[in-house]
Amino acid sequence: MKALVIEDRNSMSQMFCGILEKYGIETKVCTTVSDALEEMDTYLPQVIILDSSVEENRGMSFIDAVTPVEEEFESRKDFKKRLESGPGILVVRTVYEIVPTDCPFIRATLVRPFTTDQLTESIKQVIKKEDRGQVPKIFKETEALDPRVELVRRGMSFGESYIFFEERPILIHQTMQIFANAGYDMILLTHLRPKVAREKFGLDKDAEVFTLSGISYPLGTMIEAVGDFISKRKYPLVAIGDLDRIIEHCGVDMTMRAIQQMLSFRKNRNTTFTLLISVDDSLLTSNVRKILTEMMTEYKNKEE
From residue 145, give the alpha-carbon distance in Å to each of 121, 160, 169: 16, 21, 23
How high is the pLDDT of residue 187? 94
SS (H, E, C) the chain: CEEEEECCCHHHHHHHHHHHHHCCCEEEEECCHHHHHHHHHHHCCCEEEEECCHHHHCCHHHHHHHCCCCCCCCCHHHHHHHHHCCCEEEEEECCCCCCCCCCCCEEEEEECCCCHHHHHHHHHHHCCHHHHHHCHHHHCCCCCCCHHHHHHHCCCCCCCEEEEECCCCCHHHHHHHHHHHCCCEEEEEECCCHHHHHHHHCCCCCCEEEECCCCCCCHHHHHHHHHHHHHHCCCEEEEECCHHHHHHHHCHHHHHHHHHHHHHHHHHCCCCCEEEEEECHHHCCHHHHHHHHHHCEECCCCCC
Phi, psi angle pair for 275, to nearest 5°: -120, 125
The number of C-alpha atoms within 13 Å of 153 and in the hemisphere containing its C-beta is 13
Whole-prediction pTM value? 0.58
52-59 average pLDDT score: 88
Alpha-carbon torsion angle 242, 244, 250, 255, nearest 10: 80
d(CA 211, CA 192): 6
Among 55-64, 263-272, 295-304, whose mean pLDDT is lowest?
A: 295-304
How high is the pLDDT of residue 165? 93
Closest CA to 262 of 271, 252, 250: 271
Q: Is 303's pLDDT higher than 60?
A: no
Confidence at 200, pLDDT banded by 50, 70, 90: low
Closest CA to 239 of 142, 128, 164, 295: 164
- Cis upstream peptide for 87 (omega within 30°): no
d(CA 204, CA 186): 10
The number of C-alpha atoms within 13 Å of 30 and in the hemisphere containing its C-beta is 20
Pairing of β 297-298 and β 185-190: unpaired
- Give every strand in the sheet of 47-51, ordered side by side: 26-30, 2-6, 47-51, 88-93, 106-111
45-50 average pLDDT score: 96
From residue 96, give the alpha-carbon distance in Å to each of 29, 110, 117: 25, 12, 22
Closest CA to 277 of 126, 160, 197, 180: 160
Q: Which residue has the higher pLDDT, 193 or 43?
A: 43
* Best-predicted range by mean pLDDT (51-65, 99-113, 157-171, 221-235): 221-235
Q: Which residue has the higher pLDDT, 204 or 35?
A: 35
207-236 average pLDDT score: 90
Each residue of 94-146: pLDDT tens digit? 888 888 878 889 999 998 778 787 888 899 999 988 888 899 888 874 444 46
